[in-house]
Amino acid sequence: MRDGVNCRATIAVIALAALFHEPSILSLLETDFCFRRNPIARSGLRRLPALAVPRPKAFSRNQPIQKSADVCNIVGGANSPLLANVFLHYVFDQWINQWRNRHCAGQCIVVRYADDFVLGFEREADAKACLAALQERLQKFGLKLHPEKTRLIEFGRASAARREREGRGRCETFDFLGFTHICGKTRKNQCFVLWRRTSAKRLSRTLAAIKVQLARRRHDSVGTTGRWLATVIRGWLQYHAVPDNMCRLDQFVAEITKLWLRQLRRRSQRGRAAWPWSRMARLVARYLPRPKILHPYPKDRFALD
């Protein structure tokens, strides 16, 4: 992560790499990062004053207060991505830059956001060598790669063309920062294109959380619930409204409409008769924003010709 670089810019870099460069092998990596279990990280974080939390020990009235600074548990907290970025800058960023300059025979593209990163290689031998060297590097700092989220796949323009010539079907897909990346073709010219669709797991998890909140707000006024859902949808669109993701946007709003209608019909025994779809359609048109694409294509984002 750098100044002015957010999640959307990060996934746009992957799209540009798949379109304009020649990475044929992608290494999908995620560190199993836990400060509480990592003595090296804890010792380093204690030097940062902002992270030292004064904690008074047990004392009596006749004894002066003694304070000890402990590093608080930040796993899953708001500061966890920031601290992971600071720590991995020295553990990973500087090391991978030296490694690819010394040992990589082909192109190597590195995209990292917090503890999730994707490495693109032109040659399969470079990908396997980097994976082995990276595991050894992380062990020195008490870290390890997540076993279920680390894999090597064929991906990109070159891999898609090669797999089509060999009759092996499409490239594998992968999830990164809430999006599923898919190698596809345009309908008109059959040109290579990278589709970014909202991950099914992310979508179902968000809808499950909204379902719980709607159940708690079942007897609130229709206007209050409608305005709350409008803010939820607008916030979701601000992140997920990328090109080629319109099907997921329509699905998200449609599922929220069904969940809202179900809770409205459960407010009374005559709810089904009181809330037909025609009345619900007017409610949706009044409160819920219409999904639309809000972000430019990766090529336009970085102003490339």
Q: What is the DSSP string of 96-107?
A: HHHHHHHH-SS-
Q: Is the pLDDT of residue 10 over 60?
A: yes
The pTM of this model reads 0.77
pLDDT in tens, 166-180: 888 888 888 888 899
What H or E segment, with its residue span, contains residue 192?
strand 192-198
**Dist. CA 148–CA 237, nearest whole Å:** 29
pLDDT of 29: 60
Instruction: Check: CB of residue 275 under 8 Å from CB of residue 261.
Output: yes
DSSP codes of every residue in 247-295: HHHHHHHHHHHHHHHHHHHTTSTTHHHHS-HHHHHHHHHHHSPPP---S
**Confidence at residue 91, expressed as pLDDT on a 0 to 100 scale:** 87
pLDDT for the residue 58: 46
CB 114 within 8 A of CB 85: yes
CA 206 – CA 252 distance, rounded (Å): 9
What pLDDT is stored for residue 26 in this prediction?
61
> What is the tens place of the pLDDT at every residue in 218-233?
999 999 999 999 999 9
Element containing residue 81 per DSSP (H, E): helix 80-88
